[in-house]
Amino acid sequence: MKSLYNYAVLATLSVIAVLPAAAQHQNNGVQHGDSLYQTVSRLDSTMFSAYNKRDLETFMSHFSPDLEFYDDRGGLSDYAHNLAAFKRNFTDPAHSSRRELVKGSLVVYRLGNFGALAIGVHKFYGTVNGKEELEATAKFTEVWENKNGKWQIKREMSYDHR
C-alpha cells in the first residue's frame, strides 16, 4: 500500500513539474499586443485577402524574390515557380480557393533585428460549380524578413496537409 501511495505522490509531482513548462511553451511567442505580433498578423491578413481576391500582384509582393517554399506534397520551389502556379490558379474560371487562418493559431517569434517567425494553421476552401468545400487544413511556418521596413516572406513551409 505504501508503494502505491509513493507512486501516486510521484505521479502527481511529475504532472505539477511539467505544467509550468507546458504553459511556458505555449506562451513564449511575442504577446498579441506586441507591435511585432500586430505587424505579422496584419501582413498575414493583407496577403491572404489578396489571395482570396485573386490579386496576384499584391499577393506575390509578400514574398521575397529569393523565396524558398517547402511543401510536404510538392517539395521545394522558388519564387518563379510559385508565381506561375498562383497565376494559373488565380485565372482558372472553374475553381476558386479561399484561405482562412484558424483563429488563435498564429504564434509569432522575434528573430533579432532580421524579422519574425510565424507559425500557425490555416484552412483552404475550394469552390467548384458554386459549392464551397474544405479542401485542406495545413500547418505553416514562415520566416519574415524586414529589410528597411519592407516585410517579405523569405522561407515558407507548408506541411501536415489533411
CB 129 within 8 A of CB 149: no
- The 10s digit of each residue's pLDDT in 23-59 is 333 457 999 999 999 999 999 999 999 999 999 999 9
| Average pLDDT rounded to a whole number, residues 59-79 | 98
Give the pLDDT of residue 25.
39
DSSP output for the chain: -HHHHHHHHHHHHHHHHHHHHHHHHHT-S--TTSHHHHHHHHHHHHHHHHHHHT-HHHHHTTEEEEEEEEETTTEEEEHHHHHHHHHHHHT-TTEEEEEEEPTT--EEEEETTTEEEEEEEEEEEEEETTEEEEEEEEEEEEEEEEETTEEEEEEEEEE---
Give the pLDDT of residue 30.
95
CATH code of residue 106: 3.10.450.50
Fill in the DSSP letter of residue 132.
Answer: E
| Average pLDDT rounded to a whole number, residues 14-30 | 47
User: Is residue 38 situated within a structural domain?
Assistant: yes
Domain range holding 100? Answer: 29-161
- The 10s digit of each residue's pLDDT in 116-152 is 999 999 999 999 888 999 999 999 999 999 999 999 9
User: Is residue 113 situated within a structural domain?
Assistant: yes
Rounded CA-CA distance 100/103 in Å is 9
Q: Exposed, middle or buried by CB within 10 Å (0-12, 13-18, 19+), for 89? A: middle
Q: Exposed, middle or buried by CB within 10 Å (0-12, 13-18, 19+), for 55? A: middle
Structural domain total, the chain: 1
User: Is residue 76 situated within a structural domain?
Assistant: yes
Average pLDDT, the chain: 87
Give the pLDDT of residue 24.
37
158 pLDDT band, cuts 50/70/90, is: very high
User: Is residue 23 situated within a structural domain?
Assistant: no
Residue from 118, 114, 116 nearest 106 by CA: 118
Place of cell 509569432: 108
User: Is residue 110 situated within a structural domain?
Assistant: yes
User: Is residue 7 situated within a structural domain?
Assistant: no
User: Is residue 6 situated within a structural domain?
Assistant: no
User: Is residue 49 situated within a structural domain?
Assistant: yes
